[in-house]
Amino acid sequence: MMLKKIIAGLLVLLSVSGVRGQFPEAKTALDKKVESFLKEQAGQWRDMNVPVADGRILYDLVLSNNYRQAVEIGTSTGHSAIWIAWALSKTGGKLITIEIDKKRYLEALRNFRKAGLSAYIDARLGDAHEIVPQLPGPYDFVFCDADKWWYKNYFVAMELKLKSGGCFTAHNTSMRSDEIREFIDYIKKHPGFKTTFDSTSRSGISVSYKK
Ligand SMILES: C[S@@+](CC[C@H](N)C(=O)[O-])C[C@H]1O[C@@H](n2cnc3c(N)ncnc32)[C@H](O)[C@@H]1O
């Protein structure tokens, strides 16, 4: 009886901490490679990278909507890009990801190779303020995780390039700053988008679906 209670308690702890079931079921050789890379890297993402639970949210969004043309603004060393590209490896899509810092960009390239996902990622080094407005489109998925004060501008630069049914997601929307507030206000009031917030993400992820 006592042992049963201890096991039940442990299971609750594991599910709350996100350790249990954080990885999708590994079905292919690539799944196993990505999962083994992510397990090796656990606890070593130190460049403002998303937590594993948020990576999984992005993975699920891409896969469940069958998105194929994705853009990430703010690669850093590649944690979120790996989750997005992992899902794209299943939908037949590709990710463009943009980073301004050369050291992080080069480390991201190494991480993409180690995870076996380089073929699904077009990593660009440069200023997203310039690159994003020049992206041709159309796209069906955007993950915005770079300079918070420019979020609204990134959205404005991407809104016409998003396909109907596509979505613009943004990280750290729980942050209490004027820039994030201005961005949230804009997306919530936008008549062309339906915005929700993923309540399971501690940092906050907004998901704005284009009508
Ligand atoms: C929060 S980190 C991104 C974390 C990454 N999405 C992950 O989870 O692995 C933000 C990144 O955006 C980059 N960044 C900031 N301003 C940028 C800009 N104007 N253009 C491109 N990248 C930018 C920063 O150098 C930083 O690496």
Cα–ligand 1 centroid distance for 77 (angstroms) = 9
pTM for this entry: 0.91
For residue 175, being part of any structural domain is answered with yes
For residue 121, being part of any structural domain is answered with yes
Tens place of pLDDT per residue across the chain (211 aa): 455 455 444 443 443 344 446 899 999 999 999 999 999 999 999 999 999 999 999 999 999 999 999 999 999 999 999 999 999 999 999 999 999 999 999 999 999 999 999 999 999 999 999 999 999 999 999 999 999 999 999 999 999 999 999 999 999 999 999 999 999 999 999 999 999 999 899 999 999 999 9
Whether 99 lines ligand 1, by a CB cut-off of 6 Å, is yes
First to last CA, the chain: 53
Query: Buried (b) or exposed (e) across 149-164, using 16+ Cβ within 10 A?
Result: ebbbebbebbbebbee
For residue 15, being part of any structural domain is answered with no
User: Phi and psi at residue 42, in whole multiples of 5°?
Assistant: -50, 130
The DSSP secondary-structure symbol of 125 reads: E
Q: What is the pLDDT of residue 199?
A: 85
Name residue 141's beta-bridge partners. Answer: 70, 167
Euclidean distance between CA atoms 66 and 51, whole angstroms: 23
Cα–ligand 1 centroid distance for 166 (angstroms) = 22
Helix%, strand%, coil% for the chain, nearest 5: 50, 20, 30
Tokens (6 digits) for 183: 């961005």
Euclidean distance between CA atoms 188 and 184, whole angstroms: 6
For residue 186, being part of any structural domain is answered with yes
Helices 52-64 and 79-91 pack at an angle, to 10 degrees, of 20
For residue 7, being part of any structural domain is answered with no
Euclidean distance between CA atoms 144 and 76, whole angstroms: 12
Q: What is the pLDDT of residue 21?
A: 63
Euclidean distance between CA atoms 56 and 63, whole angstroms: 10
Query: What strands, in cross-sheet order, belong to the sheet with 94-99?
Result: 121-125, 94-99, 69-73, 139-144, 162-171, 205-210, 193-198
Whether 90 lines ligand 1, by a CB cut-off of 6 Å, is no
Q: Which domain holds residue 132?
A: 23-210
Ligand 1, atom 10: closest residue by C-alpha: 146
For residue 13, being part of any structural domain is answered with no
Q: What is the pLDDT of residue 15?
A: 39
Q: Counting atoms of ligand 1 from 1, which one is nearest the CA of 72?
A: 6
CATH of the domain at 171: 3.40.50.150
- Candidate of 75, 79, 135, 169 to mutate for ligand 1, largest count of ligand atoms within 8 Å of Cβ: 75
For residue 148, being part of any structural domain is answered with yes
Q: What angle do CA 29, 31, 37 make, to 5 degrees?
A: 105
- What's the gap between Cα 17 and its chain centre? 19
For residue 143, being part of any structural domain is answered with yes
Number of domains comprising the chain: 1
Q: Counting atoms of ligand 1 from 1, which one is nearest the CA of 98?
A: 21
Whether 117 lines ligand 1, by a CB cut-off of 6 Å, is no
Euclidean distance between CA atoms 58 and 76, whole angstroms: 16
